[in-house]
Amino acid sequence: MATIRKHRGKWQAIVRRKGQGSASKTFHVKREAERWARNQELKLDNGTFGKLLPNEVTLADLLIKYRKTITVTKKGAPQETRRIQRLLNDPISSLAADQITSDRLASFRDRRLNNGTRAAAIDLILIGHCLRVSINEWGLSLMTNPADKVKRPAPPKARQRRLKTGEYEALELASKKTRNCYLWPLVILAIETGMRRSELLGLTWDSVDLKKRTALLKDTKNGDSRTVPLSERAASTINILPKNSLLLFPVSDNAIRLSWDKLKKRANLDDLRFHDLRHEAISRFFEKGLSLPEVALISGHKDPRMLFRYTHLRAEDIVSKLND
Tell me the residue type at 24.
Answer: S
Does 160 fall in a domain? no
CATH of the domain at 273: 1.10.443.10
Q: Determine the pLDDT at residue 222.
A: 63
Does 157 fall in a domain? no
Does 202 fall in a domain? yes
Given the DSSP bridges, would you call strands 208-209 and 226-229 parallel, antiparallel or unpaired? unpaired
Does 161 fall in a domain? no
In total, the chain counts a number of residues equal to 324
Same domain, 132 and 196: no
Q: So which residues are the catalytic ones?
A: 196, 221, 275, 278, 301, 310
Q: Which domain holds residue 38?
A: 3-46
Q: Alpha-carbon distance 191 to 295, whole Å?
A: 14
CATH of the domain at 92: 1.10.150
Q: Determine the pLDDT at residue 159.
A: 75
Does 300 fall in a domain? yes
Same domain, 33 and 70: no
Query: 24 - beta bridge partners?
Result: 14
Q: Determine the pLDDT at residue 64.
A: 93
Same domain, 310 and 176: yes
CB atoms within 10 A of CB 79: 15
Does 274 fall in a domain? yes
Q: Alpha-carbon distance 140 to 138, whole Å?
A: 6
Q: Determine the pLDDT at residue 171.
A: 95
Q: Determine the pLDDT at residue 231.
A: 94
Q: Alpha-carbon distance 141 to 144, whole Å?
A: 9
How many domains is the chain partitioned into structurally? Answer: 3
Phi, psi of 25 (to 5 degrees): -155, 145
**DSSP character for 287?**
H
Q: Determine the pLDDT at residue 105.
A: 94
First to last CA, the chain: 89
Please say whether the beta carbons of 54 and 140 come within 8 A.
Answer: yes
Query: 3-state DSSP call for residue 323?
Result: coil
CB atoms within 10 A of CB 71: 19
Does 287 fall in a domain? yes
Tell me the residue type at 73.
Answer: T
Query: 208 - beta bridge partners?
Result: 215
Q: Alpha-carbon distance 233 to 189, whole Å?
A: 8
pLDDT per position in the chain (324 positions), as tens? 688 888 888 888 888 766 556 677 788 888 888 888 887 777 666 665 556 677 788 999 999 999 999 999 887 888 899 999 999 999 999 999 999 999 999 999 999 888 777 888 899 999 999 999 999 988 888 889 999 999 988 776 777 889 999 999 999 999 999 899 999 999 999 999 999 999 999 999 999 999 999 999 886 666 678 899 999 999 999 999 999 999 999 999 999 999 999 999 999 999 999 999 999 999 999 888 888 888 888 888 877 777 776 665 556 666 666 766
Q: Alpha-carbon distance 308 to 323, whole Å?
A: 25
